[in-house]
């Protein structure tokens, strides 16, 4: 009953089986994006420690799963992320400055400061907001896929989740409905071995998460989540299957969260250092780097140059973002309803005046 683990690059970067054939320029862009994610994580965690942003969740160690799954999607497909998928939006066209602005919650934030830091979404790249409540994005992804089916749209929805989300009712509801109605949906699970401090062994008695798909009547695929090529191959097939009208797939990317659950977490309280060292030997960046160098796709010193360039790009984005003011007071009122009521307009006038230091007699107009 156990789902086999699909792999195309072993931990030393040697080819296994028949990997997908990708253009050289795409391979280089994919690796550069993985490097960008890691540099961004390092800088943003540093900002949080300095008190310049309030919260951050890293994807360090999971760059292949994020980047490979993003690559398999079309620009008009819809993404329903969880905590560690900001890199998906980044791949699809969100800028670093927009991400930093969201983390600050200022006037440059595409969400106008109305969402927790790192709870990212971006309408222009079809990425939908998510909640800290685990798994709530999965029924949303299922509902959007159902709408696409009913409207005859040729798109696929990708619902991201962690291993912990497989234990909540929203996962069951979304998977059951998607299976019954054969919806154009891919459930992409980043099984990073930990749901905050709960290890995978305490999360489920099943041998894998992928195997759970059988109960809902659709395929489950278990893939080495630190293998970029295997992730691309598995996710591409799942997306193509959904687009052909053959229904959903559950992709389980077996990976590892190298850092804490978030900037609020201390993983040393529940994880042994030896376990970290074991997974460091499976680093997704090291694996792709070794393969690209051996294939002649990455020149000596090129990654170092990219790292320098990306550091400068992120530094400039931070400087520009921190120079922006908070969201305007007007924004709390102006986009709540299509047509503003007289009462809401009066409240807006009072709020703007109060923000400018004007004093009024009497109570705020409720």
Question: What is each CA distance from 67 to 45, 84, 235, in whole angstroms?
Answer: 20, 11, 11
Residues in the chain: 366
| Separation between Cα atoms, residue 54 and residue 58, nearest integer Å | 13
| Separation between Cα atoms, residue 85 and residue 88, nearest integer Å | 5
From 140, 241, 261, 287, the catalytic residue: 261
CB 186 within 8 A of CB 251: yes
CB-count burial class (<10 Å; 0-12, 13-18, 19+) for 250:
buried
CB 317 within 8 A of CB 47: no
CB-count burial class (<10 Å; 0-12, 13-18, 19+) for 326:
middle
From 24, 114, 202, 270, the catalytic residue: 270
Q: Which two tokens stand for residue 186?
A: 């891919």
| Separation between Cα atoms, residue 317 and residue 99, nearest integer Å | 9
CB 97 within 8 A of CB 108: yes
| Separation between Cα atoms, residue 193 and residue 191, nearest integer Å | 5
From 8, 92, 119, 257, the catalytic residue: 257
Count of alpha carbons within 13 angstroms of residue 297, beta-carbon side: 17
CB 255 within 8 A of CB 192: yes
Only one residue has tokens 């040393």, namely 268
| CA proximity to 3, closest of 255, 209, 258, 225 | 209
Annotation marks residue 257 as catalytic:
yes
Q: Which two tokens stand for residue 343?
A: 């009462």
Strands (E), the chain: 5-6, 78-80, 157-162, 185-191, 194-195, 198-199, 220-224, 249-254
- Active site residue ranges: 257, 261, 270
């Amino acid at each position: 009953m156990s789902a086999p683990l699909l792999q195309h690059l072993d931990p030393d970067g040697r080819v296994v089986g028949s990997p997908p054939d990708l253009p050289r320029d795409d391979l280089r862009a994919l690796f550069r994006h993985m490097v960008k994610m890691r540099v961004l994580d390092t800088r943003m965690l540093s900002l949080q420690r300095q008190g310049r942003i309030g919260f951050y969740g890293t994807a360090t160690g999971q760059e292949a799963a994020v980047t490979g799954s993003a690559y398999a999607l079309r620009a008009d497909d819809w993404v329903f992320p969880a905590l560690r998928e900001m890199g998906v939006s980044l791949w699809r066209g969100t800028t670093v400055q927009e991400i930093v602005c969201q983390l600050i919650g200022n006037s440059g934030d595409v969400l106008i400061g109305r969402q927790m830091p790192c709870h990212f979404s971006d309408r222009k790249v079809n990425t939908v907001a998510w909640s800290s409540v685990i798994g709530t994005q999965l029924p949303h992804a299922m509902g959007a896929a159902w709408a696409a089916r009913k409207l005859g749209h040729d798109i696929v929805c990708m619902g991201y989740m962690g291993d912990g989300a497989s234990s909540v009712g929203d996962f069951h509801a979304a998977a059951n409905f998607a299976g019954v109605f054969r919806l154009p949906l891919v459930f992409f699970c980043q099984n990073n071995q930990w749901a905050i401090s709960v290890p995978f062994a305490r999360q489920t008695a099943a041998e894998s998460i992928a195997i759970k798909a059988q109960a809902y009547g659709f395929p489950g695929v278990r893939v080495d989540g630190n293998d970029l090529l295997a992730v691309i191959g598995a996710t591409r097939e799942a997306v193509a299957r959904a687009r052909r009208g053959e229904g959903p797939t559950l992709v389980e990317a077996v990976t590892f969260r190298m850092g804490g659950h978030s900037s609020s977490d201390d993983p040393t309280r529940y994880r042994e250092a030896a376990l970290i060292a074991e997974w460091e030997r499976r680093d997704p960046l090291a694996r792709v780097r070794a393969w690209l160098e051996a294939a002649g796709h990455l020149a000596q010193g090129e990654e170092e140059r990219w790292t320098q360039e990306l550091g400068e790009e992120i530094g400039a984005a931070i400087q520009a973002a921190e120079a922006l003011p908070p969201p305007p007071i007007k924004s709390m009122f102006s986009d709540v309803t299509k047509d503003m009521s007289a009462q809401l307009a009066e409240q807006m006038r009072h709020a703007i005046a109060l923000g400018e230091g004007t004093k009024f007699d009497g109570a705020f107009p409720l």
